[in-house]
């Protein structure tokens, strides 16, 4: 937790009272978003997302493993986020703290609950062998709104992901002796193929301070925020996930406004995502 | 171990087409992060590394402080997706060791006595790894420290040389070749690796490690070759810094 001087806080309070933001944006306007995919060749999929000065790298690794007993025919996904000390003077080395865990869980939930990854198509032998999908998110430069940057980076990396049949073939062939049905899978899947994906929800975060709600908060705005709301919307403009944070409160009107801004901006971000991943 | 790799073809070219004294392609950009005091993005072959410098600031915990000088804390960390088989996040024994030798190398060039009780933190994040990440990391750290304006005697730079192909097609021992900047396969199946870091102005050795098998002559050869490599990379480091600060001056 960083302390914010009252001078700085008053400055931001005055700005929004006059309808302005420090970087000249409108209240419901995102910063510039850049998405670059596939720049890490060692990873099955990768993406670098910049929202303003916030910079996040996500990488996807895949491996084979055993399914959970309650979903014997489904692949398994895991999400981890690291707030590495590279990104901010306030991030420390060591095992993930609660904010890194919350971030990873919110991103994980958004992808898992909306069934963005076709996990049902990642089964090799039912009840025996399935694909594991690891989503690793690294915060490289921190200027606020990690929820949206991390979700977008994870999605862009997933759309860029190739299932590494070629790389895993020796391992799979070794297992074939014990488990002959692997052969059927290998015959059906001769080559690497695109990770099966469904329509993703896009998340947009707003914060409120001094009775004003602003979208895509910068770090300065996040530090004085009283309450935060993340809304993920799908292609039809329906709501797919929400998360309120911090100890402040919204009125119902404000929440409706936040949802509308999330739908409108979600559309634009979705088309950027589609463009960058060629979908 | 695969013994049928032919490391050098009949034209004297290596597996990736390089000559014996040729580096992989290196790209350096200074000042890529906005929160850090200084930062650097470096691509070296397919190695991709980001380095960021924080400090000098009060060293925490307090018992780590030195009342006479600053402590230098480098932290080398590999991303889970930087290698073929996913690496478990967090420091392992290898990255702790690399962090230690890099910290010690950097400490030699930084004027630490100017900042008693302070810590200078250097974070090195390996986004993609393919042989020679410690040299890439240290080289990036050198640029990031300069970008942060940390007073230094010199900008440290690192490079490796090694020995490859000392067995012929039948596994019999033959001479082998000393080459600059080992690639992935050369590192995995080669005979020796000698990463060094130097202070290029006076040639002082800041970091030296070796594994494998070298005769005295081969060591001399490899060391000279690695120093030659360091000097080439040192120029690229300075160009990257110049590029950032020249542009800044023109804008102002």
| CATH number of the domain that residue A103 is part of | 3.30.230.70
- Taking an 8 Å cut-off on Cβ atoms, the answer to whether A84 and B123 are in contact is yes
> Is residue B59 a contact partner of residue B118, using CB atoms and an 8 Å limit?
yes
Strands (E) located in A144-183: 162-163
Best of A2, A39, A86 to mutate (most B CBs within 10 Å, chain B) = A86
What is residue B6's predicted lDDT score, i.e. its pLDDT? 81
- Judge whether A192 lies within some domain: yes
Q: Provide mean pLDDT across the span A2-21.
A: 88
* Beta-ladder partners of B121: B54, B73
Q: Which residues of B touch A53 (CB under 8 A)?
A: 34
Query: B174: exposed, middle or buried (C-beta count within 10 Å: 0-12, 13-18, 19+)?
Result: exposed
Chain A within 8 Å of B77 (Cβ-Cβ)? Answer: yes
* B3 has pLDDT over 60: no
Q: pLDDT above 90 covers what percent of chain A? A: 78
Indicate the residue of B35, B57, B127 with minimum beta-carbon distance to A57.
B127
A62: β partners: A133
pLDDT for B1 beyond 50: no
Query: Strands A129-141 and A76-82, how do they pair?
Result: parallel
Largest Cα separation within chain A, whole Å, is: 72
Q: Quick one: closest CA in B to A48, which residue?
A: B127
Q: How many domains does chain A have?
A: 1
Residue A205 contacts B where some CB pair is shorter than 8 Å: no
A49 domain residue, yes or no: yes
**In this complex, do B86 and A63 lie within 8 Å of one another by their Cβ atoms?**
yes
First to last CA, chain B: 58
pLDDT tens column, A190-246: 899 999 999 999 999 999 999 999 999 999 999 999 999 999 999 999 999 888 988
Shortest CA distance from B122: residue in chain A: A86
pLDDT of residue B167: 67
Q: How far is CA A71 from CA A63, A163, A236, in A?
A: 17, 20, 29
**Are the Cβ atoms of B34 and A141 closer than 8 angstroms?**
yes
Pairing type for strands B71-78 and B118-128 reads: parallel
Task: Please check whether residue B125 touches A, CB under 8 A.
Answer: yes
Q: Cis link prior to B201 (omega < 30° from 0)?
A: no
Residue A1 lies in a domain: no
> Is the pLDDT confidence value at B142 over 60?
yes
Q: Which residue of A lies nearest to B57 if distances are taken between CA atoms?
A: A89
The per-residue pLDDT for range A72-125, each reduced to its tens digit, is: 999 999 999 999 999 998 888 888 888 899 999 999 998 998 899 999 999 999
- Chain A residues with beta carbon closer than 8 angstroms to that of B129: 42
B85 touches chain A (CB under 8 A): yes
Alpha helices in chain B (DSSP H): 93-109, 133-147, 184-189, 216-251
Element (H, E) at A127: none
Judged by a CB distance cut-off of 8 A, whether residue B36 touches chain A is yes
Whole-angstrom distance, CA of residue A66 vs CA of residue B81: 21
pTM: 0.89
- Which residues from chain B sit within 8 angstroms of residue A81, using beta carbons? none
Residue A64 covered by a domain? yes
Cα separation values, B168 from A111, B4, B9, B175, B176, Å: 52, 8, 12, 9, 9
Q: If we measure between CA atoms, which residue out of A52, A91, A57 comes closest to residue B123?
A: A91
Instruction: Quote the domain boundaries for residue A182.
Output: 6-277
Can you tell me the mean pLDDT for B2-19? 81
Q: Do A57 and B35 lie within an 8 Å CB cutoff?
A: no
- Distance set, CA A10 to CA A18, A117, A218, B35 (Å): 12, 45, 16, 23
Strands B38-44 and A129-141: unpaired
pLDDT at A190: 87
Q: Does A254 touch chain B (CB under 8 A)?
A: no
**Nearest residue of A to residue B144, measured between CA atoms:** A86
Q: Are the beta carbons of B84 and A167 separated by less than 8 Å?
A: yes
Q: pLDDT class for A2, splitting at 50, 70, 90?
A: low
- Is the CB of residue B115 less than 8 Å away from at least one CB of chain A? no
The rounded distance, in Å, linking the Cα atoms of A181 and A203 is 40
Lowest pLDDT segment from A12-16, A42-46, B122-126 = A12-16
Residue of A2, A42, A46 to mutate, interface with B, max B Cβ within 10 Å: A42
| Cα–chain center distance at A202 | 9
Kindly report which listed range (A3-17, B59-73, B187-201) carries the lowest average pLDDT score: A3-17
Whether the CB-CB separation of A176 and A183 falls below 8 Å is answered with yes
> Could you give phi then psi for residue A139, rounded to 5 degrees?
-85, 120
Domain contains A196? yes
Q: Write the residue in A85, A141, A167 that is nearest to B75 by C-beta.
A: A85
Contact B112/A at CB under 8 A: no
pLDDT score recorded for residue A98: 85
Q: Do A87 and B89 touch (CB under 8 A)?
A: no
pLDDT at B170 over 70: no
**Mean pLDDT, to the nearest integer, of B55-62?**
92
Residue B249's pLDDT is what? 61
Tell me whether residue A265 is in a domain. yes
pLDDT class for B5, splitting at 50, 70, 90? confident
| Residue B21 clears pLDDT 80, i.e. is over it | yes
| Nearest residue on chain B to A167, alpha-carbon basis | B84
Domains of chain B: 26-251 (3.30.230.70)
Domain for residue A134, yes or no? yes
Which of A53, A57, A136 has its CB closest to that of B34?
A53
CB pairs under 8 A between A and B: 91
Judge whether B54 is closer than 8 Å to chain A, CB to CB: yes
B147 shares contact with chain A (CB less than 8 Å): no
Q: What is the DSSP letter of A117?
A: B
The number of CA neighbours under 13 Å toward the Cβ of A254 is 20
């Amino acid at each position: 937790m960083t302390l914010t001087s009252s001078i700085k806080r008053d400055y931001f309070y005055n700005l929004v009272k006059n309808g302005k933001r420090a970087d000249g944006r409108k209240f419901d306007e995102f910063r510039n978003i850049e998405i670059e995919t596939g720049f890490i060749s060692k990873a099955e999929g990768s993406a670098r997302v910049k929202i303003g000065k916030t910079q996040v790298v996500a990488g996807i690794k895949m491996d084979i493993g055993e399914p959970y007993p309650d979903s014997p025919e489904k692949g398994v996904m895991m999400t981890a986020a690291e707030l590495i000390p590279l990104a901010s003077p306030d991030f420390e080395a060591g095992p993930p703290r609660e904010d890194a865990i919350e971030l990873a869980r919110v991103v994980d939930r958004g992808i898992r609950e909306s069934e963005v990854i076709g996990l049902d198509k990642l089964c090799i032998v039912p009840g025996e062998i399935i694909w594991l999908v690891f989503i690793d998110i690294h915060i490289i430069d921190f200027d606020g709104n990690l929820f949206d940057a991390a979700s977008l980076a994870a999605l862009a990396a997933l759309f860029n992901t190739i299932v590494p049949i070629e790389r895993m073939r020796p391992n799979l062939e070794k297992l074939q002796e014990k488990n002959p049905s692997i052969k059927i899978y290998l015959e059906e899947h001769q080559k690497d193929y695109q990770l099966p994906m469904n329509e993703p929800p896009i998340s947009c975060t707003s914060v409120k301070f001094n009775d004003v709600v602003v979208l895509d908060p910068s770090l300065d705005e996040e530090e004085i925020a009283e309450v935060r709301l993340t809304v993920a919307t799908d292609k039809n403009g329906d709501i797919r996930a929400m998360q309120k944070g911090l100890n402040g409160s919204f009125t119902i009107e404000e929440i409706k406004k936040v949802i509308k801004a999330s739908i409108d901006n979600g559309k634009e971000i979705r088309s950027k995502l589609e463009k960058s991943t060629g979908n | 171990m695969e013994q049928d790799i032919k490391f050098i073809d009949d034209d004297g070219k290596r597996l990736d087409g390089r000559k014996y004294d040729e580096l992989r392609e290196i790209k350096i950009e200074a000042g890529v992060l906005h929160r850090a005091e200084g930062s650097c993005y470096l691509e070296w072959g397919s190695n991709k590394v980001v380095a960021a410098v924080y400090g000098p600031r009060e060293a925490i915990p307090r018992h780590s402080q030195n009342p006479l000088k600053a402590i230098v804390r480098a932290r080398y960390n590999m991303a889970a997706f930087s290698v073929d088989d996913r690496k478990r996040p967090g420091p392992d024994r290898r990255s702790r060791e690399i962090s230690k030798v890099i910290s010690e190398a950097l400490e030699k060039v930084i004027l630490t006595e100017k900042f008693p009780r302070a810590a200078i933190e250097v974070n090195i994040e390996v986004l993609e790894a393919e042989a020679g990440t410690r040299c890439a990391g240290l080289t990036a750290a050198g640029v990031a420290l300069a970008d942060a304006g940390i007073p230094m005697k010199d900008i440290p730079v690192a490079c490796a040389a090694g020995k490859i192909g000392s067995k012929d097609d039948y596994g019999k021992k033959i001479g082998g070749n000393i080459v600059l900047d080992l690639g992935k396969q050369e590192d995995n199946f080669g005979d020796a690796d000698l990463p060094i870091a130097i202070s290029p102005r006076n040639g002082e050795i800041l970091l030296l490690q070796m594994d494998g098998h070298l005769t005295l002559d081969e060591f001399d050869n490899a060391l000279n070759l690695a120093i030659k490599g360091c000097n080439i990379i040192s120029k690229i480091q300075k160009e990257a810094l110049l590029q950032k600060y020249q542009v800044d001056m023109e804008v102002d």
